[in-house]
Amino acid sequence: MNTNDNDSYLQVKVKVAPPTFLTHGKHCLSESGLPMSVHVGEKSYEMPPRDGFTVTLFITVADINRSADFYEKVFGGRVLSRGDSKGASGHIQIANTWLIVNVGGGPTPDKPTITLSVPADPDKVSSFMNIRVADIQACYQLWKSRGAQFLTQPLAKYGEIRCYIRDPDGYIIEVGQSTDVADG
């Protein structure tokens, strides 16, 4: 793989104990010693951002601690916060992104007609997290050993090998590896 300062990707390497994430950049540490930013080339993505923006994924969960434990154990995520009894959300850094988890609730002044809830039917989805990996078989074995519930083993489809994990609240997570052969 050829790398330079203009590369806009991160390479994730997974090891059994402890899980580590290696990048073509560097992590900055917060006062607590946990990474709060990722540098790619000359860009910095932080949570919360000092300028520009950072993309995160918010999911509604039944239990913040259960979800934080799942994403920490299975993917080696770093739990930055677990929320509080006043309604603060939990924050988990997973590789080069941040996952925000919080319990559901009714409308608020900034979303007056919206109610947040966990999926009513886990077999009907409109979106999902997508994790791209360099070695799907290694990730499949590692994450399965850490308690991930896969829907199937990795299967070739549309020029990639992919499989799906279901998290504790029923969300699906696609795990995919690109290939040179397009399978239909």
The superfamily CATH assigns to domain 121-184 is 2,3-Dihydroxybiphenyl 1,2-Dioxygenase, domain 1 (3.10.180.10)
Here the tokens at position 133 are 């990996």
pLDDT, tens only, 81-95: 999 888 899 999 999
What's at 158, amino acid-wise? Y
Query: How do the domains of the chain map onto residue ranges?
Result: 121-184
Please say if the pLDDT value at position 120 is more than 50. Answer: yes
- Whether the per-residue pLDDT at 183 is higher than 90: the answer is no
DSSP secondary structure string for all residues of 6-63: T---------SSS-----SS-EEE-TTS-EEEEEETTEEEESS-SSS---EEEEEES-
pLDDT at 9: 36
The per-residue pLDDT of the chain, averaged, comes to: 80
Q: What angle do CA 11, 15, 19 make, to 5 degrees?
A: 85
pLDDT tens digits, one per residue of 27-68: 333 434 444 566 666 666 677 777 777 889 999 999 999 999
Taking phi over 0 as left and psi of -120 to 50 as alpha, with beta for the rest, 52 belongs to: left
Is 176 exposed, middle or buried, given 0-12, 13-18 or 19+ CB atoms closer than 10 A?
A: buried
Is pTM beyond 0.95? Reply is: no
